[in-house]
Amino acid sequence: MASLKKSDKERIIELLDKGEDLPLDYKHLLFPPEKKEYELVYAGKEREEDILADTMAVPLQPIKTFDGNGNDWTNKLIFGDNLQILKSLQDDPEVKGQVKLIYIDPPFGTGDEYGSINGEKAYTAKLKGTHFIEFFRKRILFLRDILADDGCIFVRLDYHFSHYFKVIMDEVLLFRNEIIINRIHKRLRNLKRFNVSTECILFYSKNENFQFFNPEAPRKCNYCGAEKDSIWEDLTSPGLRNPPERIILGRNLLPRRGRHFSYTQSKINKMENEGRIRLNKDISYYDLNGTKIDFRPEYLQTENVPLDNNWTDIKGYAFMTGYPTENHEELLARVIQAGSKEGDIVLDSFAGSGTTIAVAEKLGRRWIAIDCGKFAIYTMQKRLLNLKSEIGNKGKKLKSNPFTLYHAGLYDFAMLKKLPWLEWRKFALLLFNCRDDKHRVSGLELDGYKGRSDVMVFDYQKEGGVVLDYGFIDDLHSMIGSKIGSQFFIIAPAASVVFLEDYIDKGSIRYYILRIPYSIINELHSKDFEAIKQPIDESQVNNTVDAVGFDFIRQPKVACSYSIEKPKGQLLGYAVIKIKTFKSEAMLKGASQLENRKSLSMIMVDFDYDGEIFNLDKSYYASEIEKNGWKVLLPLENLKKQIMIIYLDIYGNEYREIKTPQDFSNPKYVKRGGK
C-alpha cells in the first residue's frame, strides 16, 4: 500500500464509497505478487490457496483388478474428473511426493480440427479461451504437489496455447526445455500462412536437482549405403587439415578436394579392427591431386549421440487404437526413459488411448492413468490386455502387471452396500470431504468433522437395520443439541432415511442428511453439481469440463429391436440393433427433460465376449447412429459365439447386454434397463 500514489488512494476510496468494483489494474498495487518476476493475468484466475483448499476430493471405488491382486503396489486406471482425483491422490501416501514422471497431453493441446459447417472447421483449440487456461493451471498445481522432489513433468501442446501455458508453468515449476515434435498435418495450398508441421513438449522439473538420464539416439545418417539395416557414412568432413592422408585398409589415401578425413589414424585403425571400415566400389571420387579413385572409404555408424530438443526424427502420432490424437509409443519411450528408471511411478492425468501407460508397462515402470471418458477407459483396458513387448506394439505378447480399475465421482452403489462397516464408514467420510476424527460429545461417539461441524456416519447395519426418522433426530438433539454448533451432518444410505427433507431444523441447529446415493446438496457448495459429459461424436472426445461433486450409477432405460439385413449383392449382411428408446435415469438437472435418445453417448461392442472381461472392438457415436436412423449395423462376419453391447449415456451410466448371432435371426422387440 505504501507504493500507491496519492491519486490512486483517493480513487480507491471514491469507488469504495460509491459501492463500485475496483478496476482489475489495482490488483497488483493492492496485492503485489511475492517472489514472481512476472505472471499471466486473465479473467477468472483464482488464488492458488483457494484452488488447493476448495477443490472437492472424491474417493476411489475399486471396480475390478486385472491379472491378479498384485503385491505391495497395483497400477491404477481411474475413471473420473482428474482435478477431483488429483486432490484425492494428495492424501495417498503411496502417491503424494512419489511420482517421478508426469506426461500429459491436455485436451485441445493438439490443435486438431474436426467436422465442418459450410466448409469451416467446427472444432478448434480456441473454443475454451481463458477458461481452458485456468482449467490447465488448476491441474498443474495439484500435479506439482504429487510430483516427487526430484521428479519432472512433460506437457504436450501446440501453437494455440503453448505460450500461455509456459508462463503458467513458469509460475510454479522450473523450465528445462521446449522440445519440438512432429504433428499430423496436411500440405494444404492457398493458405495465408505456412503449413503447421510441428508441436512442442514443455519439459519442467520441480527442483534444481531432478532425475535426468541423458538419453542418446543413433547419429543421423548423412549417407545410407545399400545395406538395409546398416548406416555407412563418409569418412570425410568439409575443410582442410594436415596431414591430409590416412592409411585405410592398406591404402595410403588422400581425402576428396575441399575435405579432410574426420578421424585420426589411430581411430581409423580401431574401426578397421572392429570391421567398421569398407571401400564402397559404387562411389568414386577425385582426391586432392585430381586423381580419380574408383571407390570411397566409409565407416559403419554404431555410435549414439546425446539427444537435443529436436525430436522430429520420430513420429508424433499413431493410429493403432482408433482413439483420436493417439501419441506414438516411440515418443513416450523417449520421454519415460529420459526422466525415470525401472520401478518409478509414471502418471498421465489425460490418459486418452493409454500410450503413456502401455510404454511404462513395457519399460518396467509403475503407473497411474486418469481419464474422464468411458471410451478412453475401455480403449486403455483393451490395450493393456493385448500388449506386445516391443515399442510400437511389436514382438511377443506381453502380460501386463496387475492393475485396478477405479471409479471416482460416479459410483456403483450396489458394490458400496457390500462393504464391511469400517470400509463403508471410511468411504462415506471421504465421499463428503469429511475429516476422519472420532470424538465424543455428551458421551455419544461421532465420526469426524466437515469444516468445524460435527459428523455422524449413521450405522444402518446396527441391530438388523435401524432407520433414520424424525424420532432419531429428536433423540439426537436432546442428547447433544446444547453442545454442538449451528450445523450437524448425518451421512446415511438413502433407503434408511424415512423423510424427504435434506435437513431438519431444531431451534438454531440445522441437521443435514447427506444421503448415499445422492448428489451434492447445492446449498452447501459454491457450485451446483456438474457431471462429466461423455462425447456423442469424435469432435467431443477431448472436450472436458470441470466436474463438481459426485453421482451414482443409474442404469439407463433401453428398448431395442434386433434383426438381420442383407443388402443386395452381398453374401453376408448385418446384425442390426434398432434403438427405439434410450432415456437416461441420471438424477441430474435437466436429464429428465432430454428427448428420447438425446442422452445417448455411444454404443460399444465386444464381438467375442469371453464372459468375464469386456474387450472393446468397435464404438459407434450417437451422432452417426442418429444419421443412420438410430440403427447400428454389426457385420455378421465379426460376430462370434457371443457379443457384449454397452449402451452409454452422456453422464457415464451404462446398460450392458449379451447377445448371440441367433438373437438377430428373427426380428423382435426387447425392452431392457431402467427402473
pLDDT beneath 50: ranges in the chain: 1-2, 109-127, 221-228, 669, 675
Same domain, yes or no: 147 and 177? yes
Same domain, yes or no: 325 and 183? yes
Same domain, yes or no: 87 and 161? yes
Domain limit, last residue, from 407, 430, 456: 407
Q: State the pLDDT at residue 33.
A: 55
List the CATH number of the domain containing 654. Answer: 2.60.40
Q: State the pLDDT at residue 225.
A: 40
Of 468, 338, 305, 320, nearest in space to 382 by CA: 320
pLDDT per position as a tens digit, 610-624: 999 999 999 999 999
Q: State the pLDDT at residue 181.
A: 92
Q: State the pLDDT at residue 545.
A: 58
Question: Which residue range forms the structural domain that includes residue 30?
Answer: 1-35
Which residues in 438-455 are b (16+ Cβ under 10 Å) and which e?
A: eeeeeeeebbbbbeebbb
Query: For residues 21, 25, 31 and 35, what is the CA-based torsion angle, rounded to 10 degrees?
Result: 160
Number of other residues whose CB lies within 10 A of the CB of residue 433: 17
Q: State the pLDDT at residue 567.
A: 82
Same domain, yes or no: 552 and 568? yes
Show the DSSP H helices in 369-481 as ranges.
374-385, 413-416, 421-431, 470-480
Determine, yes or no, domain membership for 97.
yes
Q: Which residues contact 251 (CB under 8 A, 6 or more apart)?
A: 279
Which residues in 264-274 are b (16+ Cβ under 10 Å) and which e?
A: eeeebeebbee
What nine digits make up the cell of 34? 511475492
Question: Is there a contact between 490 and 513 (Cβ–Cβ < 8 Å)?
Answer: yes
| Model confidence, pTM | 0.79
Same domain, yes or no: 328 and 400? yes
Determine, yes or no, domain membership for 43.
no
Q: State the pLDDT at residue 212.
A: 94
Collapsed DSSP state (helix, strand, coil) of residue 335: helix
Determine, yes or no, domain membership for 52.
no
Q: How far apart are CA 642 and CA 316, in angstroms?
A: 37
Same domain, yes or no: 359 and 337? yes
Q: Which residues contact 215 (CB under 8 A, 6 or more apart)?
A: 306, 307, 334, 337, 338
Determine, yes or no, domain membership for 49.
no
Q: How far apart are CA 249 and CA 272, in angstroms?
A: 7
pLDDT per position as a tens digit, 55-65: 888 999 999 99
What is the total count of domains within the chain? Answer: 5
To which residue does cell 503396489 refer?
73
Domain limit, last residue, from 302, 322, 340: 302
Q: State the pLDDT at residue 71.
A: 62
